[in-house]
Amino acid sequence: MIGLISATAAGAAARDRLAAAWPDRTRVYDGPVGDAVRRAFAECEQLVCFLATGAVVRLVAPLLSDKTSDPGVVCVDEAGRFAVPVVGGHAGGANELALAVGELLGAQPVVTTATDAVGIPGLDTLGLPVDGDVAGVTRALLDGEPVALAAEVAWPLPPVPFAERGSYTVRLTDRAVEPASGEVLLRPPSLVVGVGASRGAPVDEVLDLVEGVLREAGLSVRSLAELATVDAKADEPGIVEAARRLGVPVVTYSAEELAGVEVPNPSDAPLAAVGTPSVAEAAALIGGGELLVPKRKSAGVPATATCAVVRRPGRGRLAVVGLGPGARDLLTPRAKAELERAAVLVGLDQYVDQIRDLLRPGTRILESGLGAEEERARTAVEEARRGQSVALIGSGDAGVYAMASPALAEASDDIDVVGVPGVTAALAAGAILGAPLGHDHVSISLSDLHTPWEVIERRVRAAAEADIVVTFYNPRSRGRDWQLPKALSILAEHREPTTPVGVVRNASRPDGTARLTTLTELDPAWVDMMTVVTVGNTATRNIAGRMVTPRGYRWQENSPESTREGSQEGAL
C-alpha cells in the first residue's frame, strides 16, 4: 500500500490524482502532517509526500530503522514539477515509484542513487539474495575499479561492467560459503528439491530433511527455488508448511509425467502409492539439470519423507526487439527497457549505432554487417543458451522481414523468448502519406535473394487480382533494378493509370522524403532499398494531397445513409 500525505490545497489536488489513478494501491492520510506521516510509515510499504523535501527528511528521520525494511518515500513539490526519492531508493522501491509518479503527474523524477545515475544496476536490485561487501564492491564499480565476476552457476544477469580480474569480486554461487573481503555473493535460485512424503508426515521431519541435506552437500538454502512433488501430495500439510517456512513454492507434477523421468533409484513403494516409481528424484529432475544429491530418507522411524536435490541451470533469455523505423520517439518504452536489460546485444552494425547510447555500461555488443542475418540469429540463440540475457535487434518490427523469423527457427524450448513489437516501415510510411492502409493491405518484399522471383510474381499477381493495397519492401537496389517495374506492370493490368502510389524514403528520419504520385508517373529511379512503395487499390484516392483508402467501398457513394454507416464504422 502507498500512503499519500499532503499539507496544502495544491498538494491535495495532486494527491487526489494519484489516488484516483491507483485506487487499489493508495491510501490517503489526513490530519496533522506529522501524525499522518508516522501512521503511513508504520502501515504502508511506500509513501508519497506532497511536501517540502526538508520537511519530509525531518519527519521520517526519527522513524528510520533499517534500509531493508523501511518503506520507500518519495517527495513531490507543491507545483508537481519533481518527484524525489528520499528514502529506500532500491530496497523500498522509491526510485521506481518516483518514475511512476512522474509519468502520471508529468513531474521530473530526480533519482540521485549513484548506480541509477550512471546506469549501473545496484547489486541489491538484481532480484537475487545478496551477501558481503555490497557497498564496497558497488563503490568500486562506480569508481571504475576492476570488479571480476566469478560465475559458478550460469544465470542471466543484466549488464554490469565486470572485468576478467580485479581486487573485488562478485561471486554467483549456490554454495554455502561466506563472502571473502571485497566480495559479494549473489545467490541464484538454482536448486530444486524434490520431496516425497507419507500421509501425515510431520512438517519438522520434512524441514529437517531438506535443510540437513542441503547443509551436508554444502549448498545454500538461499538458492532454493522450489519444492517439487507429485500432484497427489499438493495438499500434504508437512510439505506445504515446510515450503512456507522456507519461503518457496510447491510445484507439482502428475504421476504420469514423473513416471517418464529416468532416475537412478526407482522404487516399488511410490509406484504402489501414487503411480510412479519415483517422486523425489523424478520431481527434481523433470525440468532437467544435474542431480547433486540422490534420494535421501528422513531420520524418522519409520522414515516418512524423502528428498533429492538438483541444480538447474538458469534459462537464458532472448528478446527479439523491433527498433521501429528510425525516429527515437517511435522506439517503444518496452524496447528501451529490453535494451537496458540485455547483457548481450546482437545486431546489424548500423542499427546498433542508432541505439548505442541507450545501452548500459557492461553490455557486450556483437555486431556485424549486411548479409549476416542468419549468423546473427545463431549467435543470439547461442548466447541465450549460455544463460545470458540477450537482445537481438532489427529495424521496424523484428517479426516483419527482420530477425525474429531466423532466430525462432534456431531457438528451441531451452531458452525463454520474448518478442517486442515495433513500428514497421509500412506503418510509418502510411502515417506520412495519409491513410493508404485503411482497408485490406499486404506487404511484399521484391528481394529475390531469399525467395525465387516466380513465387514473388505469383504473390504480386494475386494481390493485383484481389484488389488489395500493396506495400513493396526492398523494392530496388543497384543490383536489382527490374523487379519493381515488373511488379508495377502486373498491378497496372488491374488498376487505373491514375491509381495513387506513395513513395517514402527513410520514413520518420530527419532525412526522410515522401511523394505522392500515380501508377504511370512513378519513376523507379526515385526508389532504393531505404524506400517503401505503397500502391493503392481501385478505391484509393488522392484527397487534399493525402493518400486515402476508405474502410468500406460504400463510402464512395454520396448518400446520407452510406455516410452514416462509414462514420459508425470509423468510431469502432
Ramachandran quadrant class, 9 (left: phi over 0; alpha: psi -120 to 50; beta: rest): alpha
* Mean of pLDDT values over 253-261: 93
Tens-place pLDDT, residues 199-226: 999 999 999 999 999 999 999 999 999 9
Q: What is the pLDDT of residue 345?
A: 97
What pLDDT does 370 receive? 85
Residue with the bigger pLDDT between 548 and 87: it is 548
Q: In the predicted model, what is the mean pLDDT of the chain? A: 89
Q: Tell me if 502 sits within 8 A of 514, measured CB to CB.
A: yes
Each residue's pLDDT tens digit, 387-420: 899 999 999 999 998 899 999 999 988 899 999 9
* Interatomic CA distance for residues 214 and 292, integer angstroms: 10
DSSP, collapsed to helix, strand or coil, labels residue 91 as coil
pLDDT for residue 221: 96
Residue 313 · residue 416 · CB < 8 Å: no
H helix count then E strand count, the chain: 19, 28
What is the maximal distance between C-alpha atoms in the chain? 93
Give how far Cα 426 sits from Cα of 352, 395, 430, 462, Å.
22, 12, 6, 20
Across the beta sheet with 72-76, the strand order is 26-28, 2-6, 46-50, 72-76, 82-87, 108-109
263-272, 316-325, 422-431, range with the lowest pLDDT: 263-272
Better-scored residue on pLDDT, 165 or 554: 165
Residue 253 pairs in a beta bridge with 230
Judge whether 16 and 42 are in contact, CB under 8 Å. no
| Entry pTM | 0.75
Q: What does the H/E/C string look like for 404-472?
A: HHHHHHHCCCCCEEEEECCCCHHHHHHHHHEECCCCCEEEEECCCCCCCHHHHHHHHHHHHHCCCEEEE
Residue 125 region, left (φ>0) first, then alpha (ψ -120 to 50), else beta?
Answer: alpha
Distances (CA, A) of 172 to 168, 262, 515, 542: 13, 30, 57, 62
C-alpha cell at 47: 509513501
Instruction: Report the DSSP pairing between strands 183-186 and 130-132.
Output: antiparallel
- From start to end of 198-276, where are the E strands? 224-230, 250-253
3 state SS of 566: helix
- At 115, the pLDDT band (50, 70, 90 cuts) reads low
Predicted confidence band at 118 (pLDDT cuts at 50, 70, 90)? low
The model's pLDDT over 72-105, given as tens digits with 9 standing for 90+, comes to 899 998 778 888 888 887 778 888 888 888 888 8
| Residues 6 or more apart whose Cβ sits within 8 Å of residue 204 | none
**Residue among 131, 138, 151, 91 nearest 343 (CA):** 151
Question: What's the pLDDT score for residue 564?
Answer: 38
Q: What is the pLDDT of residue 114?
A: 59
The region of weakest confidence among 146-155, 212-221, 227-236, 338-347 is 146-155
Between CA 220 and CA 211 the distance in angstroms is 9
List Cα–Cα distances, 32 to 43, 59, 73, 141, 449, in angstroms: 17, 12, 18, 43, 73
What pLDDT, on the 0 to 100 scale, is given for residue 554?
59
- pLDDT score for 465: 96
531/480 Cα distance (integer angstroms): 14
Q: What is the pLDDT of residue 442?
A: 97
Is pLDDT at 447 greater than 60 in this prediction? yes
User: If pLDDT is split at 50, 70 and 90, which confidence band does 138 have?
Assistant: confident
Count of beta carbons in the 10 Å neighbourhood of residue 572: 5
Give the pLDDT confidence score for residue 557 in this predicted structure: 54
Tell me how far the alpha carbon of residue 504 is from its chain's centroid. 32
CA distances to 234, 260, 278, 288 from 256, rounded to whole Å, are: 15, 7, 11, 17
- Output the pLDDT for position 31: 87
Q: At what angle do helices 33-43 and 53-60 cross, to 10 degrees?
A: 60
pLDDT band at 559 (very low <50, low <70, confident <90, very high): very low
481 within 8 A of 528, measured Cβ to Cβ = no
User: Region 11-17: what's the mean pLDDT?
Assistant: 86
pLDDT beyond 50 at 571: no
Report the pLDDT averaged over residues 379-391.
94
pLDDT over threshold 50, residue 108: yes
pLDDT at 563: 39
**What confidence score (pLDDT) does residue 556 get?**
53
Determine the Cα–Cα distance for residues 483 and 446; give it in Å rounded to an integer: 7
pLDDT for residue 562 is more than 60: no
CA 229 to CA 252: how far, in whole Å? 5
Check residue 104 and give its pLDDT.
Answer: 85
For residue 47, the SS3 value is strand
Mean pLDDT lowest for which of 254-268, 455-469, 552-566?
552-566
pLDDT at 109: 85
Q: ω before 302 within 30° of 0 (cis)?
A: yes
pLDDT of residue 561: 39
Least confident of 148-162, 166-180, 489-503, 545-559: 545-559
Convert the pLDDT of each residue in 467-501 to its tens digit. Answer: 999 999 999 988 889 999 999 999 999 999 999 99
For residue 275, count CB atoms less than 10 angstroms from its CB and return exposed for 0-12, middle for 13-18, buried for 19 or more: middle
Q: How confident is the model at residue 553 (pLDDT cuts 50, 70, 90)?
A: low
Per-residue pLDDT at 119:
67
Hey, what's the cell of 115? 548506480
